[in-house]
């Protein structure tokens, strides 16, 4: 008993005091190099910005502005010259004015190419508040998605119980519906709060012609002149995001193209789904509706009419609303990927369908996506609203990699990271190699083994801010936390890797000072992943923050990297000091 008491007492005696952050040795050495007698003036700082930070366009006036912005820190005024001590220089490097991405507030990619030339921030079942089977349907997650910059909102539309109005819900599940008109009004109100580039509404339509006519009236009255509605004929080429600023676009399968006889494709579809449904058998016993849900999802995206009526007279006003026509065609995969020189369209594939197609038709998918839109959506058994690896879609040119935005896991962090690019406008220009033809009309081969284009060298110096953003006993009841960092790349298979620093015990301000190198074969699609965890000997390690950054837009030099929660919300104080070099 006495031994146990002694152990607990020792734990209580361990310190919680916050030590002051001290500049790493590299920072001190750079300060000595770019200062004179311990003082750094604007000319010295300007040289540092050019040579170390690789900010070729920086001016001496920019350096003066940085020093002036540190007026609350210790600096000297010698002969009317403002200068920095080491402390001021260190705080500048570790401050909000020195982020890892350029603080652009507008898109800077070429926005005048067709929509098919861009990756587009895309949601899946955008109305769900939680899981795919029993959560509420609401306009709130739609609003949150738009505020984050999501540009494609998906709505599943069904007749209400009285068959006289239109609900949004995940069909054949226990999800509770929300009125379509409420969702449309919320989209109208929040569509352009985060970005002025177009919002696409993809509709999974389960309606009769009279209710389609009602939807046409709702959409027309809600959006009015901001609705892009070129008519009932398919577009010959997609317009550009620039030409569609502050416009709303409807995409679904035109009713007149619904196949009239299901038997033609039924056997083929069922054989493709057989293995998946066998895997779901255990789920089906616990959740009786799931197999119907999976079948429903897959039929919807195959474009099959859910109504059994052999003949339908589609509402013409509804057809005219559809600017981006969707559909797979009547044949197999080769027919789905056929490129029509006279019109463009949208094709939807499940993550499983894409994985299978990539094995046999990888280059054909790339060729298809140079002109047409490809939407990829999560497989039906992801009832927990989890997501998949988005890179398989992006490396094949898929524009609409649709994600459950209400989930909180690593795949979604990668999605957040991709769309931090281009000013966070929700549209990211695809790399040239996905858009161009070679001398012999060949296209990029996603399976090809490629040489290393560049190597990203990352130094993780230190971190701070947990003491202020977390409760003192959040990580450990009796001592300061034991932090380690994970750093790596999400990208094509050859580039994907994660590495780890040592664990530093009992320190609110960990100073790892470790360097990592990442050879990159496709840097254009690479994202830098950063996570911090607190080591726990007996339980799962505690989460301490994360971020994901597009390598193509990383600023070279020493940068302050803010970390985010598992939900993707930025912490107020937590950040890392890191250095990025391309060698």
Tokens 């995940």 belong to 170
Tokens 């996506």 belong to 369
Give all strands (DSSP E) within 206-258, no chain letters: 227-228, 248-252
- Distance between CA 547 and CA 545 in Å, rounded? 7
Give all strands (DSSP E) within 206-301, no chain letters: 227-228, 248-252
Helix (H) or strand (E) run with residue 428 in it:
strand 427-429
End-to-end CA distance of the chain: 59
Residues assigned a catalytic role: 124, 170
DSSP 68-101: HHTTTS-EEEETTEEEE-HHHHHHHHTSTTS-SB
SS3 506: coil
Instruction: Count CA atoms closer than 13 A to 237's CA, side-chain side.
Output: 10
Reading the block at residue 44, the tokens are 């010295």
**Rounded to the nearest 10 degrees, what angle do helices 60-69 and 42-51 cross at?**
110
CB 260 within 8 A of CB 312: no
- Distance between CA 300 and CA 155 in Å, rounded? 12
SS3 400: strand
Instruction: Count CA atoms closer than 13 A to 269's CA, side-chain side.
Output: 21
Q: What torsion, rounded to 10 degrees, do the Cα atoms 358, 361, 367, 372 define?
A: -70
> Which residue, among 581, 49, 505, 393, has the nearest Cα to 403 in the 3D structure?
393
- Distance between CA 274 and CA 90 in Å, rounded? 61
Residues in the chain: 583
Helix (H) or strand (E) run with residue 335 in it:
helix 333-336
Q: What sign does the dihedral 19-20-25-27 (CA atoms) show?
A: positive
Q: What is the DSSP letter of 176?
A: B
- Distance between CA 533 and CA 286 in Å, rounded? 35
């Amino acid at each position: 008993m006495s031994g146990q008491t002694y152990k607990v007492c020792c734990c209580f005696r361990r310190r919680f005091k916050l030590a002051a952050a001290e500049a790493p040795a590299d920072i001190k050495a750079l300060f000595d190099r770019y200062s004179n007698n311990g003082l750094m003036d604007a000319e010295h700082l300007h040289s540092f910005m050019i040579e170390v930070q690789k900010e070729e366009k920086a001016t001496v006036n920019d350096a003066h502005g940085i020093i002036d912005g540190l007026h609350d820190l210790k600096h000297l005024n010698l002969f009317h010259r403002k200068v920095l001590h080491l402390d001021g220089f260190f705080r500048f490097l570790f401050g909000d004015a020195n982020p890892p991405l350029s603080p652009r507030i507008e898109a800077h990619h070429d926005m005048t190419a067709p929509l098919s030339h861009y990756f587009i921030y895309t949601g899946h079942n955008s109305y769900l508040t939680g899981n795919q089977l029993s959560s509420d349907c609401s306009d709130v997650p739609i609003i949150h998605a738009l505020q984050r910059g999501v540009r494609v909102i998906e709505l599943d539309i069904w007749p209400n119980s009285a068959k006289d109005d239109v609900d949004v819900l995940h069909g054949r599940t226990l999800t509770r519906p929300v009125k379509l008109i409420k969702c449309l009004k919320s989209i109208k109100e929040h569509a352009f709060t985060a970005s002025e580039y177009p919002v696409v509404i993809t509709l999974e339509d389960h309606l009769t012609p009279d209710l389609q006519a009602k939807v046409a009236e709702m959409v027309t009255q809600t959006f009015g002149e901001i609705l892009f509605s070129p008519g009932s004929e398919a577009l010959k080429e997609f317009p550009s995001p620039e030409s569609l600023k502050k416009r709303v676009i409807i995409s679904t399968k035109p009713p007149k193209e619904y196949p009239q006889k299901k038997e033609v494709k039924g056997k083929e579809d069922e054989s493709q789904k057989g293995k998946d449904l066998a895997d779901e058998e255990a789920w089906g016993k616990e959740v009786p509706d799931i197999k119907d849900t999976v079948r429903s999802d897959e039929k919807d995206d195959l474009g099959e009419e859910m109504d059994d009526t052999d003949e339908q007279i589609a509402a013409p006003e509804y057809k005219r609303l559809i600017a981006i026509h969707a559909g797979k065609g009547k044949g197999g995969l080769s027919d789905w990927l056929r490129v029509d020189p006279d019109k463009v369209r949208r094709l939807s594939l499940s993550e499983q369908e894409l994985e299978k197609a990539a094995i046999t038709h990888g280059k054909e998918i790339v060729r298809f996506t140079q002109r047409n839109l490809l939407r990829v959506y999560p497989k039906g058994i992801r009832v927990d609203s989890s997501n998949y690896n988005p890179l398989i879609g992006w490396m094949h040119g898929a524009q609409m990699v649709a994600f459950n935005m209400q989930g909180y896991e690593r795949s979604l962090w990668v999605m957040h990271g991709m769309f931090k690019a281009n000013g966070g406008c929700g549209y990211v220009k695809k790399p040239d190699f996905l858009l161009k033809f070679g001398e012999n009309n060949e296209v990029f081969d996603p399976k090809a083994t490629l040489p290393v284009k560049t190597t990203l060298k990352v130094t993780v110096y230190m971190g701070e801010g947990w003491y202020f953003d977390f409760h003192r006993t959040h990580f450990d009841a009796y001592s300061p936390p034991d932090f380690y960092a994970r750093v790596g790349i999400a990208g094509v298979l050859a580039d994907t890797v994660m590495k780890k620093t040592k664990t530093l015990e009992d320190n609110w301000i960990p100073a790892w000072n470790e360097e990592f190198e990442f050879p990159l074969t496709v840097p254009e699609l690479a994202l830098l992943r950063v996570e911090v965890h607190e080591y726990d000997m007996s339980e799962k390690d505690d989460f301490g923050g994360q971020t994901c950054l597009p390598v193509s837009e990383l600023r070279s030099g020493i940068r302050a990297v803010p970390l985010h929660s598992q939900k993707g919300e930025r912490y107020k104080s937590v950040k890392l000091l890191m250095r990025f070099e391309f060698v």
